[in-house]
């Protein structure tokens, strides 16, 4: 009878153990939705068009954490700052404002000539400026402030 009882108990407990094991596996396999973004800015440089008082800033965003969104940009060195994307449409380069930009988890976003850039208008001291400060605003990550060196046209990255 002893065997009979233990067998019965094991039979009763088995569904509970299976459910528990299932929960543990689920917890181990589910994506870490709470992982915070870990963003850094590298390879930043700017181009100024002095006659127009405009500038474009280029850089690469590296994200070593969870997903985030770039939701704005500002600059103490210009009147207006915004995220733009250049695209060729019917043989013409056109720029579009990108008020929000997805930053994938553990991914990169490249701002480069002919594509994404931070567009500045009303650049102060545009003729003589050697660096431009911009601040990037994210939905999740704290603001990132970068001082970008100004490169003349015709140098690397053009």
CA angle 139, 94, 118 (to 5 degrees): 35
Task: Name the percent of the chain in helix, strand, coil, to the closest 5.
Answer: 20, 50, 35
For residue 116, give every residue at least 6 positions away whose Cβ sits within 8 Å of its Cβ, in sequence order, or none.
83, 84, 85, 86, 98, 101, 109, 110
Among 95, 130, 147, 149, binds Cu ion (CB under 5 A): 95
* Closer Cβ to Cu ion, 13 or 95, answer by number: 95
Q: Is 84 in the site for Cu ion (CB under 5 A)?
A: yes
* Closer Cβ to Cu ion, 87 or 106, answer by number: 87
Minimum separation from the CB atom of position 112 to Cu ion (A): 13
* Closer Cβ to Cu ion, 3 or 153, answer by number: 153
Phi, psi angles (nearest 5°) of residue 49? -110, 95
Q: Is 46 in the site for Cu ion (CB under 5 A)?
A: no
* Closer Cβ to Cu ion, 81 or 146, answer by number: 81
Chain residues binding Cu ion by CB under 5 A are: 84, 95, 119
């Amino acid at each position: 009878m002893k065997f009979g009882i233990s067998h019965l108990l094991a039979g009763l407990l088995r569904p509970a153990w299976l459910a528990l094991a299932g929960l543990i596996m689920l917890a181990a396999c589910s994506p870490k939705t709470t992982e915070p973004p870990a963003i850094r800015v590298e390879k930043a440089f700017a181009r100024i068009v002095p006659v127009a008082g405009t500038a474009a800033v280029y850089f690469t965003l590296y994200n070593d954490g969870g997903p985030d969104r770039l939701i704005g940009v500002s600059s103490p060195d210009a009147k207006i700052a915004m995220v733009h994307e250049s695209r060729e449409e019917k043989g013409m380069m056109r720029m579009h404002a990108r008020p929000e930009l997805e930053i994938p988890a553990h991914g990169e976003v490249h701002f480069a000539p002919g594509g994404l850039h931070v567009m500045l208008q009303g650049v102060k001291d545009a003729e003589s400026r050697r660096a431009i400060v911009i601040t990037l605003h994210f939905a999740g990550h704290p603001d990132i402030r970068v001082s970008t060196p100004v490169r003349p046209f015709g140098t690397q990255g053009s």
